[in-house]
Amino acid sequence: MTDAPLPADQPFRVSMLVYDRRYRSMTFQVIVFILVMALAWWLVNNTIQNLAAQGKDFDFGFLFQRAGYDIPQTPIPYTSDDWHLRATIVGLLNTIIVSILGCVAATILGVSIGVARLSKNWLFARLMTIYVEIFRNIPLLLWILIIYAIFTEIMPPPSAYRGDDPAWSKILFDQVALTNRYTAIPALGMTNDPGTLDLGARITVNWAVIAFLVVIIGGWFTRGAILDRAQAIQDRTGIRPTTWWINLAVMTVPSLLLIWYFGLHLLAPELQGFNFGGGINLGNAFVVLWLALTLYTGAFIAEIVRAGILAVSHGQSEAAFALGLRPNKTMNLVILPQALRVIIPPLISQYLNLMKNSSLAIAVGYMDLRGTLGGTTLNQTGRELEAIVLMMLIYLVLSLIISAGMNVFNSRVKLKER
């Protein structure tokens, strides 16, 4: 085939759709589009015919039927008399909670391990290498089952904490009790409770939570304004004013005042009868899933962080040391800010993987989106196609939200070319 562009004044012929490069790419795109649409139409039509042959239709009305099953851990009020829609929302919130906590913990663990792997202490660096190689080379499902077995088989029953000389003692300053049924942690108490705001649908929010959100968001924007002002002064005079103590005060003093005003304090769990009370009893399914996701994803993040740090030229460290910076300041002020440009893009993929891997919660009975909509609801209603399609859409939306948020952060830290 040869390219033979014709003069502009030559009349159009059908053969030009193939032999003229001005039209050829458009011709191929139209053909591919028609083939894709034909495949999609065939799939949809085939699905509709198969559903009709089985006496089914495509309807989401099942979401407004009575669920009829209980969910152990519910972030919002829920009973078995609620609709499948509310059960789905509870499962979605459980997915979001374990994903957010997993991302935070895995990031802290991964950054720490990644930096530690570059330690000059031979034994310490090798121990971190062993951790990374063990956790990232064994499937996550096996880690979930192993940790679940440890919690159910090794941890004691709540009665082991009974008596003046108990067989087991609480950990972390006598605040956390590990048992074979749940993990008891402290709860927050208030001596000056301001009451709650009713949002409808049996959902309430304590005014104290709203107050903390307001002061934290306000403090964040105030901090941004202070930094912008400091940058403007530096651009005008060449001298940057000291702002760290102002930023620290803006971010912490309002919150401390609210803690004092509301009288916030910790309510340690205490054994009351056969179970712990006074605190929060987290189901072991949630704790196991969160721990497994953290340890597994943290190993991958550690390698990403190590690779990002090694990508920074060694001359940067030598220049920082020549200026008199200590190793910790060199890492925080010179190495990590440059390494973030390399770390952030693969880190987005790890956050997405962690969120999707949370669907393995079904292995330990944690009622996330997969356990509610894709589990009990699907089995009770027989609406497998609708449930799977809805789950795919929800996971897709969650993934796009995570990607959008991380891409915004990536655009803020990437190299600014002039």
Q: 165-180 as b/e, with b when 16 or more CB fall inside 10 Å?
A: eeebebeeeeebbbbe
Q: Report CA-CA distances (Å) from 299 to 129, 188, 346.
A: 9, 32, 13
* Residue 78 to residue 357: CA distance in whole angstroms: 25
Widest Cα–Cα separation across the chain: 101
Give 156's contacts (C-beta < 8 A, 6+ positions apart).
167, 168, 178, 179, 180
Q: Report CA-CA distances (Å) from 97 to 94, 199, 350.
A: 5, 20, 17
**283 strand-pairing partners:** 182
Secondary structure of residue 196 in the 3-state scheme? strand
* Residue 134 to residue 144: CA distance in whole angstroms: 14
pLDDT of residue 1: 47
pLDDT of residue 301: 95
* Residue 223, amino acid: R
Tell me which residue has tokens 């009709």: 52
pLDDT of residue 367: 92
pLDDT tens across the length of the chain (418 residues) = 455 555 556 777 878 888 888 888 888 899 999 999 999 999 989 988 888 888 888 889 999 999 999 998 888 999 999 999 999 999 999 999 999 999 999 999 999 999 898 888 889 899 999 999 999 999 999 999 999 999 999 999 988 888 888 888 888 888 899 999 899 999 988 899 888 888 888 888 999 999 999 999 999 999 889 988 988 898 888 888 888 889 889 889 999 999 999 999 999 888 888 889 888 999 999 999 999 999 999 999 999 999 998 888 888 888 888 888 888 778 878 888 888 888 888 898 899 999 999 999 989 989 999 999 999 999 999 888 899 999 999 999 999 998 888 888 878 776 665 5
Q: Report CA-CA distances (Å) from 264 to 132, 219, 279, 384.
A: 39, 20, 14, 46
pLDDT of residue 416: 61
Q: Beta strand pairing status for 270-272 and 264-267?
A: unpaired
Q: Residue 7's Cα: distance from chain center in Å?
A: 58
- Residue 13 burial by Cβ neighbours in a 10 Å radius (0-12, 13-18, 19+): exposed
Q: Residue 323's Cα: distance from chain center in Å?
A: 39
Report yes or no: 118 and 303 within 8 Å, Cβ to Cβ.
no
For residue 312 the two structure tokens come to 């920074």
* Residue 391, amino acid: M
pLDDT of residue 164: 80
Of the candidates 208, 177, 213, the residue with the CA atom closest to the CA atom of residue 195: 208
